[in-house]
Chains A and B, each alone.
Chain A
Amino acid sequence: MADTVLNSPNIKKLSAKDFRSDQENRWCPGCGDHGILNSVQKAMADMDFKKEDYAVISGIGCSSRFPYYMDTYGFHTIHGRAAAIASGAKCANPDLEVIQVSGDGDALAIGGNHFIHAVRRNIDMTILLFNNEIYGLTKGQYSPTSNHGMVTKTSPFGTIEEPFKPSQLAMGAGSKFYARSLDTNIKLTTEIVKAASDHKGTSIVEVLQNCVIYNDGAHSIITDKATKEDYTVIIEHGKPMIFGKEKNKGLIMGGNGKLVVVTIGEHGITEEDVLVHDAHTEDPHMHWLLSSMMAPEYPVALGVIRDVDSTSYDEKMVQQIEDIKAISSIKSMDDLLNSGDTWVVE
């Protein structure tokens, strides 16, 4: 499997181009999905897997056309069920590197049940959740992540629903890995996909994605040049959470258990006072706070927010089968057929 690739002198290193399929890309010009596709192809070329060991599995929606544009094993399945199908694929062959691609509607509405249970089981796969806060393929209805009050074709007077935060849903289900990126930030997305792949267990990667047709500018506060640096904090394990145009803003813990945005140099605040990110702590409290931050009160956190060591479902499944095989006297169907209460008719 994968580990032999880089060690073999005869195999040339893969490039992003090697993962491009010959299929015509039908995403709208300007769609955030193009950037994500580039990032994932770059990440896959950098990772230690052979092309044929990747299985890219999607549900239904614009994002779910992803497998068609990848030159590896791909499966475009049915609405909402990608997590279940990917779970089965990974259990059938734990050597595969399984990547699930879903949109916010696919993963969190019709597929909400499968999403939380994949996370709960901790199957070793990466779920790329493209979040544009709208239904694109069905042409502009609100989604489970659309803001309260948002006017869409099915909410002409504004939605009266509260949105999900994918990070909270994931952590509520026991997620050990959660990261957030932005479609236009190719470098960050590439790094995050690699980190997600390295993580053993279900990795949730939420990519904030722009739908140019039905929800253009949904994430503008963190994409517009004028505002993005003041409203984005890119967090990294072991590094202080500093951000802002002047690189002088930071996050500290307030007395009431809430995060507080401070300015370094004001009110006696120094760089030492700013929180240092610990992605590996088991306790999800800080990860919850960080991933829940919203503009304009807070910057939006991007990067690997939670990455906790764990044993995956598929590892445990393989181990359990090995353990039982070792102690059982039943080694074949013939053994089983003749086990227990049998009698002979002469």
Chain B
Amino acid sequence: MSQKTKIIEREEVVIRFSGDSGDGMQLTGTQFSDTSALFGNDVATFPDYPAEIRAPQGTVGGVSGFQLHFGHQEIYTPGDYADVLVAMNPAALKANLKWVKASGTIIVNEDSFTDKNLEKAGYESDPLLDDKLADYNLIKAKVTSLTRECLKDSGLDQKSILRCKNMFTLGMVYWMFDRPLDHSEDFIEKKFKKYPLVVDANKKVLKAGYNFAKTIEALPYNYSVAPAKIRKGTYRNITGNKATAWGLMAAAERANLELFCGSYPITPATEILQELAARKDLGVKTFQAEDEIAGICTAIGASFAGDFAVTTTSGPGLALKTEAAGLAVMTELPLVIVNVQRGGPSTGLPTKTEQSDLLQAIHGRSGECPMPVIAASTPSDCFHYAFEASRIALEHMTPVILLTDGFIANGAEPWRIPTMSELPEIVAPIAKEGDDFLPYAREEKRLSRRWAIPGTKGLEHRIGGLEKIDGVGTVSYVPENHQVMSDIRKKRVELVADNIPELKVKGKDDADVLVVGWGGTYGHLTTAVRELQKEEKSISLAHFNYIFPLPKNTAEVLGRYKKIIVCELNDGQFAEYLRSTFQDIKFEQHNKLMGLPFTVVELKERFNQLLEEK
């Protein structure tokens, strides 16, 4: 589409957009990734933003970033280091320079490098003037003044004009990677439909940025990334939170039940509630409760009354839901509890990712209170595991915890859309009028009780949090009965293992090192292991999605390897759980608690070290 000075073919590229939290960087990044996905690349994205809505402008703490990784092979992570950094101000440069590859390209908004902004960012001298950036391909663009110039006759006020400057940089990057503008132009037209002036302004600035990059030829080369060879089908980009919401809705449809979500907004889980709230057209009932406890309690009430009920939260919210979760275990009602993990403890790092709610999910309730726990591993497979959590909850009459995390919840990737008929039907054990019914009578295979929904004639019964006699369901404090019921509750969760797939290993059965991970670290672990396998290193990966119970073949798989390293974004909770479950097996650990995902570089370094140790 344009004449290029020099075209460099690349397998993959990482771009990081960064600026103040009001600079529109999330939107810019999303636009570029959507366009790349439409072009046929595989894409992974990672938004990184401060917890404050508008953190102090121009400071490092207020920097909002959006990283995306696209390529013509399968992409599993948003990438460790950026080929291109867009920095809208000095703070953005300061915060992100360490994430730029050696000799990478840095585009800065030169206008923003004022004395005041440099001081706010903590620079003692202007980095654009000294030789600190000499090793990079530095592109200085007067983004603010060029945008202003471009829109001087637009009829917009100054504030609205300045709001368009992110489109200028987007245009520049589109030119660099030879991407068409039409997707973003369509987007602008739809988004600002009611404001034709704003549509014209944004489109004009987008083109101006594109033409500017072309004119100045400041870019020594243009990258070209060919489309990826991916499976045939219809695709869309999806974030983890949206995929989770859709997975829950899909399960409700396949179970032929109405979906009820009782929830309380909490970062980074809120979008699930928002997505469900928008789906009244599919009959979804959302209840924004007064607190986390009411969130799960309304869901339990809805489950009692016959809806497929879910509640969504993040770590501190899960802590509040604990007592009610125990009630759901005791009353053996289906319920999905989604926990989008974030940095803790307490309020911790609300917008940053972590995996440290694992033991809370497995054990964090009063009494012996077993509950299945499963974890999603990528943005798009949140759909699959939300569906799985729902299937297990409904088929086994139990609450289930689904763990995702901030990284996959906010991250996006292209997703091959399934058709509903591909998904299994979910059959909950609903008791019918005329059935011979006792509230705690059990079916043989899963030991689940049946669901007698209020309004069904002749099945009137009472349930509650007090210990019951099996079968009849009468309250009982008899010591022996409590042992019997505790054993049944434990067995019921163990039996879930008959209804889940076995663990699969990526790589050889006799590799020197087995890497073990779970949940949202899948992309980084897969990439690191795959790259080492390409270097002919003897290494394999076992990644877990079913945590409690574990897949039936877990002991056998782990038993095959001499060196096992468990990698997680916590202080070793899965390793601890595996050690207590498989006491004869030795587990090494690699852990990180920085609110950040792993990098492929650090993982490879650690694995190489382990491979070299005798």
Task: Give chain A's interface residues, CB within 8 Å of chain B.
Answer: 1, 21, 23, 50-55, 57, 60, 67-68, 70-78, 81, 84-93, 95-96, 113-114, 117, 317, 320-321, 324-325, 328, 330-334, 336-338, 340-346
Contact = CB atoms under 8 A, between A and B. Distances in A.
Interface in B497-550: none
A51 B460 CA distance: 8
B301 A84 contact: yes
Contacts of A345: 40, 230-235, 416
Contact of B456 (A52, A334, A336): A52
A317 B287 CA distance: 10
Contacts of B291: 113
A71 B258 CA distance: 27
Contacts of A341: 34, 38, 236-237
B297 A340 contact: no
A92 B301 contact: yes
Contacts of A54: 454
Interface stretch (B96-104, B207-215, B246-254): B246-254
B contact face: mostly helix, strand, loop, or mixed: mixed
A60 B323 CA distance: 13
Contacts of A68: 462, 464, 475
B373 interface: no
Interface of B: 34, 37-38, 40, 230-237, 246, 249-250, 253, 258, 260, 262, 279-283, 285, 287, 289-291, 293-294, 297-307, 309, 323-324, 327, 331, 416-420, 453-466, 474-475
A342 B417 contact: yes
For the complex of A and B, the 7 pairs showing the least CB-CB separation, nearest first, are: A88-B301, A76-B464, A328-B281, A88-B298, A84-B297, A74-B462, A85-B301
Contact of B465 (A78, A86, A95, A338): A78
A95 B302 contact: no
Contacts, number: 205
Nearest to A55: B454
A340 B34 CA distance: 12
Contacts of A89: 301-302, 304-305, 454
Contacts of A55: 304-305, 454
Contact of A67 (B285, B300, B462): B462
Question: Which of B280, B419, B474 has the most chain A CB atoms closer than 10 A to its own CB?
Answer: B280
B281 A330 contact: yes
A336 B246 contact: yes
Contacts of A325: 280-281, 283
A324 B474 contact: no
Given A93-B306, A344-B233, A332 B420 contact: yes
Question: Which of B287, B303, B474 has the most chain A CB atoms closer than 10 A to its own CB?
Answer: B287
A77 B464 contact: yes
A57 B301 contact: yes
B460 A71 contact: yes
B34 A321 contact: no
Contacts of A344: 233-235
B301 A74 contact: no
A91 B463 CA distance: 19
Nearest to A88: B301
